[in-house]
Structure 1
């Protein structure tokens, strides 16, 4: 047996230096006995049992690390929030609860419908408050502030102390907000037909009246980072159809009202607007308030849906994207107000609709994403301009700069702007108006493949050190520090030798990036306090480390499993994380520094009652001698004396699925669930595909065949019963591969691209732009057009070789697919039909690129399973197969 095949199995986790193959051979010999021993306790899973499976999500860890919360979510809607001790047996279940918060006194509050549940964790005592609209917690007062609507439509703010367990109320409160530091409470309250606005110092218990006797209520309170100021909008009513913007400085106890129509600089014809994407923003120095406006009189064209569409070749964008005019004309625009000077400056416009702010919000980077259109790039380059928010002066900053997310980043203090150009990171110094190539002399490669099907991009610039002294940069594996003045650099991690990738995170790690207008929030990381890093190994190990001191890595957790969703307490002494593998459902794990991890909760415990499969990772070589990875999922009741059918699912890099726990379902949007097939006596193979430039089709054949041959050589599967499946780009690969090899007994291709030239000259309706970019810095790696090299497109198109197909093929597509035109599948089907090939096409009238309607999902999953069962298991054919295929 080839010792390269099984790199890791759940049954053989020996150290690298030990001959683990011995374990595997022993396992194969003992497995029949193990299976016999399980017969009495385990059974086969039926489809009706699938509804028992749910999805685990971590919620919070209390500040004292004594309590953890997590939720289970089910397709049936039986969602539940759980709260349990980290070093005890107490556990509480709150069905349908959400928005939970721990306080500092071992209380938990959560919304349950329109009821607020206040749970005393030590005793389990629960208090319920009805008709709750919203709530917030202040650690300063150890109190929950609860906005409650009473039966008489009267509202009040209920203040529930978690220290004393007592409540007080403020009547007539309509809206409220707690400052970020929890020290201040601002609230609006109604008194008969007028309103007043108050602010309360929660530490001192004093209250100040800000505004009174107005006929407009207030809403949308936004604080500065340090809780020194708050901005808010008035509500519209019959007598006041427009909003008003207010700004209050706490220390000066001064409130400003933004002048609108009569103000110098206020955009003519505009109205204040609440934009949930671009909310109010207060600058760090408290001098500026950023707000949004709309121009209600401006309309989009054409107004009449039956009016002729004029598609001009000279338009920068296609008609569907531009609607015949500039596409951003009706979007809200951003302006800035300087209250102390009474000055208003419009920032974005139809000419410059996109906005980045530098760290101190003194400069704006404005751009137009379509001025360099038409373009074949995925992220069209832009000309970036610097707008001085004090003087209004504007100058060209960067010409034809990449607009890829993360490749231009202002520094936190605003002194610099970093950007990636010509395969290097550059620094622009604001004060001296100079550009410096920061990385050219280092010889380090800072770009490469960053997405499954995309081209090469910068690996990333996650942030800066305090005071903008150093720039943090990623290469493929490691984290580097470059001095902003270009005087030196150093390496913080050393993952390349072990092929381990390190990436910075902020806790909790739910992979949610912070954004500010059209760019990321400039981040500062203090190395003295330590950096949290997420690690991913070559063999799909994963976990977290703390980088401290002089490049010292302290392991928090690192396992042969998928570890994610790290949450830490404020002191950094305890952590909560989620761990899973294909064999083990996601778990809630808890770890204190210096102590062993413990499992607090095992999701989907019912799995123990059933037979379940396993997954292994192995390596293989393609014809170019590239070392690639593949994941092989075993049948749930695997018997080494038996040869099984196998389904090969192809796309791009898929080794990351090694430890991904997949709930069994027959409701997949793309018609396939690997766990479902593992439970039904199939092997499932996910090979990595190394796509060669201008040779994508052939490389898919090369890699998929090499991976399958590796499995066949091990004697695990029946070489006559192997099927191939893919969706979207995988559908393209499937149709191409089946034309070029007789290795597969059958295939299923969904949403496939079958004619590259026709696809090149088509529109991606999702993006409302031509598909050109997919052939340059995207999926197909052609780097030229069909007009320049028609033979290249012909050679890589499945339709070219459709006459060579000897494998029964099932095609499917949604007729409302906005990603890949369903005509690509239709035309391929028509060719197969004319050639009298064994083929059936399924077209779903309401289906998109994936199927979103439940009945369509169930139907597609059922038919694909029937198709594979017929060709790979010799089961009786379903009627629709019998009618569609003549043997």
Structure 2
């Protein structure tokens, strides 16, 4: 019996070993399906990419986050002046300047405090999270369960103010720090005193606390919501701890609450909503009258807007014929948009200018004023006292306190910024004007020889009134100004100090990012880079020359040898367009080079970015790896007219190629075209209409816009016709209105005309452009016996996000072009198609 058992075990082990061996062989073959490129892999491995920078309050230090090819994030802490001492950290999740010279970090579950002058460090273990309330100068350290979830509050000198145990979380609400204390059967809300030394219980109950918000009524107090058997219960807790319950049978049960800014000083403005369960029956019934199809996935989410007057124990339900209620200042005025009941779908028209009726409603008097059509452009100052609207190609200023409405006499293309001093700054071409909001008198405060200027440290806050209806103001004493020169991407950067112009960065073609100024307006940092210049962090004291603080990728000498040439050609309406032609490192003008085109729309504003050699290519393109592999790379601009996006792209690319053909170093027989998403659609279309390319790569791309227009978009949970008609595809008309235009711009209807090999790729979880768009085009090309390979990346979406898939695709991209542009053979995964090709 023992012998039989041993025999059986031997057979089992043999079978397992055989299966493992087959798996290893198969896995090895998959890995070796692409050509290894050790030089490119080494180049990528040594490269880091900057993420964000942060300047210390006094400008003496700068924090620089970077990531490498393995997506490991590091922090470099550096002085901004000599000797530029540096500290390196990894795994940093939070950082705060406790004072000018003291930095605190959260590194995993460890709190670290660094004295930057002495570079001495101390640390505390078993940390959940930390926070620093700058205005109150309070440091919060929250411990894990090993210390009973204790919260410690320190001042900015790291002196302990108080300890509180059993803390589940905290919330900063309109200047108040509220602590959620969980004592088991008792759930408490504690308000911390302004000095952090004491606390006051403002709420206590057995119910779980859902949310707390500070009331902006004249009576102050808090809005507290707790979980109940049938949803939420909400209470107003006044400053003297008097409690009033929101009790109105007409509003029904709700499971979510949002406290919003109210313009009525006596009312709390709430949106109450609930989520009904999705229909999980054997059949899901979809109705043509249902305007929000996402309800069939998430369940219905009915909501109501109410004004709650706790002192009067009164609730007013706001008119549901309007939406986007937005409180304006303290005027009792609410901006609201009349609901368009003619819409078929809620998302219809989301990409267009909103010409719907906008009203200004007074919650106290009930007066309602229909505003002039604003073209979906409306800006509010910080307090909500003024509304700037774009009315009939003119700017109009409404004072919500007096309800006076006047044209301001500024050009239609001028851009406004409400300033911290209560005026309006206007940028118009190369000029900056300041306008008084009372008498509308204006004066020019800055003039430069530039195509445009912009204020770059503006605060932008969205509202529910519309996409371009938002708060737009300066909250800084020192406006930072960028002056741009469009044709060659030159820019100059300034600061305004008490109305005087000061140059921070002289005119440069470099790409400038993360420009920041210290609290006193004397110290500046920024990052500058270019296509052939690795990023460098620069610093400057107002009265001195700029200096390099930290150079990223100093070992990347090859970047310096890459050059760029601009090509000029005409667009579809005879407009002037440009293309950037990148020439490989050590370019030899005596040689001929294959060229790869990457297309989308207008792209020149991105061509001054450092060309990072990486395999982390979400959109399936990396210019630097192509250049290192001996290709020219052309990045052209495309514009559009009413004949459709496909035909417009074809015309622009043909014009760009005509200009490219004038270069002797360009091999007309060895040119490839590639694009992703909308650029992939353009690639598909051009492939069906051109004989000028030797190969194509198209990723996550539409191929049948007639089907797509009426297909369901699982990303937006709506039909896609709005995107085809009025969005990026620019068809303008519906299929029913102009079928010929759709036929003419539809790639799949011309699939039989493709004459060059196509590599298609997509993610199997793409919810934006369904993978079937790729599979359908693949099937059509296959039917007509075209050379085509399709890559379906499991679990990937509209872009490739996981590194193994990113690297797999990038190697295949390089293989594809090497095979068809450089005539290299013996690439197994391509040979498998070519040897069996028709």
Using the size of structure 2 for normalisation, the TM-score is 0.82
Tell me what 1:384 maps to.
Answer: 358
Q: Which of 530, 536, 540 lines up with 1:591 in the alignment?
A: 540
- RMSD over aligned CA atoms reads 4.1
Tell me what 1:805 maps to.
Answer: 754
Q: Which of 55, 62, 66 lines up with 2:56 in the alignment?
A: 62
Q: Which runs of 5+ in 1 are unaligned?
A: 1-42, 447-458
Q: Which of 84, 107, 115 lines up with 1:112 in the alignment?
A: 107
Query: Where do 1:742-781 residues align within 5 Å?
Result: 742-781=691-730
Q: Which runs of 5+ in 2 are unaligned?
A: 1-36
Tell me what 1:363 maps to.
Answer: 333
Tell me what 2:253 maps to.
Answer: 270
Q: What is the distance in 2 between the residues matched to 1:260 and 1:229?
A: 16
Q: Deviations over 1:722-767 (max 9, x none)?
A: 1111122212222333344432222222233344434434444333
Q: Which of 450, 457, 471 lines up with 1:506 in the alignment?
A: 457
Pair 474,270 (structure 1): closer, same or farther in 2 beyond 3 Å: farther
Pair 308,430 (structure 1): closer, same or farther in 2 beyond 3 Å: same
Pair 225,486 (structure 1): closer, same or farther in 2 beyond 3 Å: same
1:565 aligns with 2:514: yes
- Cα offset for 1:593? 1.0
- Cα offset for 1:126? 1.8
Query: Where do 1:668-687 residues align within 5 Å?
Result: 668-687=617-636
Tell me what 2:273 maps to.
Answer: 294
1:151 aligns with 2:146: yes
Tell me what 1:723 maps to.
Answer: 672
1:172 aligns with 2:162: no
Q: What is the distance in 1 between the residues matched to 2:271 and 2:215?
A: 17
Local SS of the residue matching 2:619: coil
Q: Is the 1:613–1:633 contact (alpha carbons within 8 Å) kept by the matching residues of 2?
A: no
Q: What is the distance in 2 between the residues matched to 1:208 and 1:270?
A: 33
Pair 229,855 (structure 1): closer, same or farther in 2 beyond 3 Å: same
Tell me what 1:8 maps to.
Answer: none
Pair 826,155 (structure 1): closer, same or farther in 2 beyond 3 Å: closer
Query: Where do 1:307-346 residues align within 5 Å?
Result: 307-312=283-288, 315=289, 317=291, 320-321=293-294, 323=296, 330=301, 333-346=304-317
- Cα offset for 1:873? 0.9
Local SS of the residue matching 1:567: strand
Paired residue total: 790
Deviation larger for 845-854 or 189-198: 189-198
- Cα offset for 1:351? 5.1
- Cα offset for 1:875? 0.8
1:858 aligns with 2:834: no
Q: What is the distance in 1 between the residues matched to 2:703 and 2:136?
A: 65
Pair 178,717 (structure 1): closer, same or farther in 2 beyond 3 Å: same
- Cα offset for 1:861? 2.4
1:354 aligns with 2:324: yes
Local SS of the residue matching 2:556: helix
Q: What is the distance in 2 between the residues matched to 1:225 and 1:595?
A: 46
- Cα offset for 1:606? 3.8
Q: Is the 2:162–2:198 contact (alpha carbons within 8 Å) kept by the matching residues of 1?
A: no
Q: Deviations over 1:203-242 (max 9, x none)?
A: 5x8746354775568686656899996636366599x984
1:418 aligns with 2:408: no
Q: What is the distance in 2 between the residues matched to 1:792 and 1:357?
A: 45
- Cα offset for 1:506? 2.4
- Cα offset for 1:674? 1.2
Q: What is the distance in 2 between the residues matched to 1:293 and 1:800?
A: 49
Q: Is the 2:563–2:584 contact (alpha carbons within 8 Å) kept by the matching residues of 1?
A: no
Q: What is the distance in 2 between the residues matched to 1:111 and 1:668?
A: 30
Higher strand share: 2
Q: Which of 565, 569, 583 lines up with 1:621 in the alignment?
A: 569
Local SS of the residue matching 1:701: helix
Local SS of the residue matching 1:703: helix
Local SS of the residue matching 2:44: helix
Q: What is the distance in 2 between the residues matched to 1:697 and 1:154?
A: 60
Pair 113,641 (structure 1): closer, same or farther in 2 beyond 3 Å: same
Q: Deviations over 1:8-37 (max 9, x none)?
A: xxxxxxxxxxxxxxxxxxxxxxxxxxxxxx
Q: Which of 373, 379, 385 lines up with 1:409 in the alignment?
A: 379
Q: What is the distance in 1 between the residues matched to 2:710 and 2:181?
A: 59
Q: Which of 120, 123, 128 lines up with 1:128 in the alignment?
A: 123
Q: Is the 1:637–1:681 contact (alpha carbons within 8 Å) kept by the matching residues of 2?
A: no
Local SS of the residue matching 2:831: helix
Pair 58,883 (structure 1): closer, same or farther in 2 beyond 3 Å: closer
Local SS of the residue matching 1:82: strand
Q: What is the distance in 2 between the residues matched to 1:186 and 1:485?
A: 40
Q: Is the 2:324–2:336 contact (alpha carbons within 8 Å) kept by the matching residues of 1?
A: yes
Q: What is the distance in 2 between the residues matched to 1:733 and 1:192?
A: 61
Q: What is the distance in 2 between the residues matched to 1:838 and 1:428?
A: 63
1:395 aligns with 2:380: no
Local SS of the residue matching 1:865: helix
Tell me what 2:485 maps to.
Answer: 537
- Cα offset for 1:561? 1.0
Pair 97,870 (structure 1): closer, same or farther in 2 beyond 3 Å: same
Q: What is the distance in 2 between the residues matched to 1:150 and 1:526?
A: 40
Local SS of the residue matching 2:809: helix
Query: Where do 1:587-736 residues align within 5 Å?
Result: 587-608=536-557, 614-622=562-570, 625-736=574-685
1:72 aligns with 2:48: no
Local SS of the residue matching 1:320: coil
- Cα offset for 1:846? 4.1
Q: What is the distance in 1 between the residues matched to 2:242 and 2:136?
A: 29
Local SS of the residue matching 1:522: strand
Local SS of the residue matching 2:521: coil
- Cα offset for 1:86? 1.4
Pair 118,479 (structure 1): closer, same or farther in 2 beyond 3 Å: same
